[in-house]
Structure 1
Amino acid sequence: MAMSTKIRVAVIQLHSKPLDIEGNFTKACAFIRQAAEQGAQLVVLPEYHLNGYVPEDPIYIQQASQYKKYLDQYCVLARELSVCLVPGTFVERHPAAAQSSGNRTLNDLDGDYQLFNTSYFISHEGEILGSYRKKNLWHTERSHQSRGWEKHSAISTPLGKVGLLICWDLAFPEAFRQLVKDGADIIIVPTCWTLDESHAYGLGLNPNYESLVLNTMITSRCFENTCAVVFANAGGPSHTFVGLSQVALPFVGAVDGIWDSSENFFIAEIDMEILKQAELNYKVREDMAEKDWHY
């Protein structure tokens, strides 16, 4: 796959049925095939797309041990369709690491394992080119999952340098800065942003504040980092899900998106010339490369 100045990205806003890992996988694959048939070069799925988020259920813990099976099948599918693929995130069960409790949040249901929330970039040849474990856990995730501690690093892909973040990472400009400083032009953010824990006080001030914060942060991040942001949120009933999956660029804002919480997908074009011109204008990367960069 030759690098292009324009990249066609498909974002799938999937409504996953909790714990129906086979059904969700089958549905995701059908959407990926549709996107590939329509010329997508990169396809992105949302966070927790395989089994939803029900961490108290023992079946959920068992399914976390099966992630490699589905990751391998996504690699086969990417090679078959010749598309790059970010298959949302996988909840992964791993043996507990020998770390001090101050450096991790440990799921301690049986004391011998950790759960990580991990995203992968798969090339059009079916190769895993890089991965990222979620660092900034939402408050209620911290009693169930361990945070990743690796440095934010850009991944070299056939589409250029790509960064991976997950959901609540969106609220941390520092994460974007590290990726951009490492050369990332496209930052992909699989997400499962719901209304389940919306703040009553905030809702009293603005019933749509969740939508406001997402649209604001996505737009801000692409401008302040001269990068493209690919935001793939989960879909579902509007009383629970926000949706708003979108692709945003500096100067332009959202290029395209799904402006409700419905299950669907869209294909947007990332014009790399826009990113080049944004950097020429704002010189963010140039400033960060200076010896006297002060942050």
Structure 2
Amino acid sequence: MAPLVKVAVIQLYPKPMQPEHNFNKAATYIRSAAAQGAELVVLPEYHLTNWLPKDPAFVGLCDQWETYLNKYKDLAKECRICIQPGTIVESHPQEEADENKLLNVAYFIDHEGNVAGKYVKKNLWHPEREHLTGSGRDVHEVFDTPIGKVGMLICWDLAFPEAFRELIANGADIIITPTFWTLNDCNAAGLALNPSSEALFLDSMLTSRAFENTCAIVFANAGGPPGHGYAGLSQVVVPFIGPLVRMGSCAEGMSVVDIDMQVLKDAEENYQVRADLARDDWHYDYRHSNSNTKDSEDGKARERL
């Protein structure tokens, strides 16, 4: 039988612009997760600062990214637990530019305090594009970790099935997704139709992605005070079952749950998604790009001649 992997998902309210306070709160949860036997703990996106890029102090706090990465590395080693510390926004000087480049980065830190994986957010949500630099055409990497083969995505990456396909084609079994997704991310037209539209989006998408990729998804979202639009809904999702645990929309807290890795094997045996992706004649073996579109149109034009 495949092993069980005990995972803790932490739903935090990131107190705005107070990274030390937020780190200390996260550390308390992490120590509790380790005491309960968790092998992995996952935090939300922007959990150190909240998302306030226009605040004059924001970039200065991002300069401290390495300090907090090292704090999490020390904590992982102390507690003998793997930590995925949500995301840490990093500030890096740019050559021939007056402003620093900001990257939204997810790390996987193993139980010995070593960085086993790093991912820079690729698909930036529209308001982020003014402030962050994405990872563009860099490949989605899969990392060997103490809990198995892991891929990482961040928030809006969830909306792109191609990201999951690339990860599972490279062998990922668990996909970790730290998120800062709010109910207010919906526009007025959508909210008028359904004030809970974004919650429906998240629940539907997470279950679909688990089924269609025969993978487990660990989704840690920010929660917060009622009436402020926080979506919460942190959950761990597997095929056949859906959410093994699903938290509420606002409350902070932590849930610890076992992922039975046999479920993933049974799902793949049933759906054979990975087997199809590995075929030489797999008919979706292409990328969406202008060059591919042009080549396709040129080919059709030649056929008509």
* Range into which the TM-score falls when normalised by the shorter chain: over 0.9
Establish whether residue 119 from structure 1 lines up as the match of residue 117 from structure 2: no
| 1:1-295 equivalence runs, <5 A | 5-96=3-94, 111-149=98-136, 150-239=138-227, 240-295=229-284
**Cα–Cα, structure 1 residues 97 and 164, in superposed 2: closer, same or farther, change >3 Å?**
farther
**Cα–Cα, structure 1 residues 193 and 97, in superposed 2: closer, same or farther, change >3 Å?**
farther
Gaps of at least 5 residues in structure 2 are 285-305
Aligned-partner Cα distance in 1 for 2:248–2:211? 21
- What letter corresponds to residue 244 of structure 2 in structure 1? V
Aligned-partner Cα distance in 1 for 2:270–2:95? 46
DSSP 3-state at the match of 1:163: strand
Q: 1:206 Cα deviation (Å)?
A: 1.4
Would the aligned equivalents of 2:232 and 2:250 in 1 still touch at CA under 8 Å? yes
Aligned-partner Cα distance in 2 for 1:222–1:78? 28
Aligned length: 282
DSSP 3-state at the match of 2:37: coil
Aligned-partner Cα distance in 2 for 1:80–1:96? 35
CA RMSD of aligned residues (A): 1.4
TM-superposition CA deviations, 1:238-284 (whole Å, max 9, x none): 32201000000000000012132210010111100000000000000
Would the aligned equivalents of 2:73 and 2:109 in 1 still touch at CA under 8 Å? yes
Give the aligned partner of residue 303 of structure 2: none
Aligned-partner Cα distance in 1 for 2:224–2:205? 22
TM-superposition CA deviations, 1:160-197 (whole Å, max 9, x none): 10000000001000000000001000000000011333
- Which one has a bigger Cα radius of gyration? 2
| TM superposition outliers: structure 1 runs of 4+ over 6 Å | none
Give the aligned partner of residue 103 of structure 1: none
Q: Percent identity?
A: 54
Gaps of at least 5 residues in structure 1 are 99-109
- What letter corresponds to residue 225 of structure 1 in structure 2? N
